Amino acid sequence: MAISSRQRVRTGQPNSSPKGRAAGERHAPLLPFRPGHGGARPGAGRKPKIPGRPGVEHRQRAPLAKRFPVHVTIKLRSGLPRLRSKPAYDALRAAFAAGCARNLGGAFRLCHYAVLNDHLHLICEAEGRQALSRGLQGLLIRIARALNKLWSRRGSVFADRYHDHILKSPREVRNALRYLFGNGKKHAAEGREVDVPQAIDTFTSAPWFAGFRERIVVKGIEAIVRPVTDARTWLLTEGWLRHGRISVHEVPVHA
């Protein structure tokens, strides 16, 4: 098969035709790329914001159907005060309540939460991926402003983009709820400077949770603005109950 002059240039063959070049002009051969540049390799990619701790991968997030709840985890920047103190928790709870009031009847709902020393766990519902992203963005901005005001500082509060896990089955939802309400006790048992002296962890939405096996009475709860919104998805309202109510004594096995 005959190769045209343009094809010869592309394949690195010299162009013997005098057309298209000045007399005496040499043809510059094509230079190959050096091996090893580009692509996956050790040390490539975005560096973690916390040294020694990998961040959340910057991949396109999976589509979200409105029938599925989502478990969201967000970490604080290192060096900030602990969240499990009364002033910080009061600020967080006020931010949660304000966010719920703003999104009342909207496309994003905060249904459950757990506050640990340096990170938050949230279980949310949303009408779709975009609604979840916008709702979380507004909530996290509100939280950051409240904490910066409390701590008399400026700058970012959260270490990285949030991690989310879509809950697609009743068992997944029950496991996520057990994880939220029992994570503080698990950390305490591991000696992570977390104290849970009561039957339930009051740094979670457990006081407003009606799915415990035992009867729980929290004194003074009527004077506190409710910081969560009622769930609407079948999985988070009824579906998870197929595997039984949660005991206040249950502790999650896996982190």
Tell me the pLDDT tens digit for each residue of 7-19: 444 444 545 555 5
Q: Read off the pTM.
A: 0.75
pLDDT band at 194 (very low <50, low <70, confident <90, very high): confident
Which of residues 51 and 185 earns the better pLDDT score? 185
Mean pLDDT score of the chain: 83
Structure tokens at 217: 């009475």
> Mean pLDDT, to the nearest integer, of 115-123?
95
pLDDT band at 81 (very low <50, low <70, confident <90, very high): very high
Say how far apart CA 147 and CA 126 lie, in whole Å: 25
pLDDT of residue 47: 54
Give yes or no for a contact between 167 and 176, defined as CB atoms under 8 angstroms apart: yes
pLDDT of residue 255: 46
Residue 108: pLDDT over 80: yes
Give yes or no for a contact between 200 and 181, defined as CB atoms under 8 angstroms apart: yes
SS3 call for 109:
strand
Give the residue carrying structure tokens 């975009």: 130
Which of residues 45 and 128 earns the better pLDDT score? 128
* Termini Cα distance of the chain: 64
> Mean pLDDT, to the nearest integer, of 125-148?
95
pLDDT of residue 95: 96
Asked which of 21-35, 40-54, 81-95 is least confident by mean pLDDT, the reply is: 40-54
Give yes or no for a contact between 200 and 207, defined as CB atoms under 8 angstroms apart: yes
Q: Which fold has domain 70-243?
A: Alpha-Beta Plaits (3.30.70)
pLDDT band at 248 (very low <50, low <70, confident <90, very high): very high
CB-CB neighbours of 150 under 10 Å: 15
Which of residues 139 and 35 earns the better pLDDT score? 139
Q: What b/e string do you get for 72-97 counting C-beta neighbours within 10 Å, with b at 16 or more? A: bebbbeeebeebbeeebeebbbbbbb
pLDDT band at 54 (very low <50, low <70, confident <90, very high): very low
pLDDT of residue 11: 47
Say how far apart CA 154 and CA 158 lie, in whole Å: 12
Cα dihedral sign, 122-125-126-128: positive
Residue 66: pLDDT over 50: yes
SS3 call for 88:
helix
Say how far apart CA 129 and CA 127 lie, in whole Å: 7
User: Which residues contact residue 125 at a Cβ distance below 8 angstroms, ignoring those fewer than 6 apart?
Assistant: 66, 69, 70, 108, 109, 111, 231, 232, 233, 236
Residue 247: pLDDT over 70: yes
pLDDT of residue 9: 44
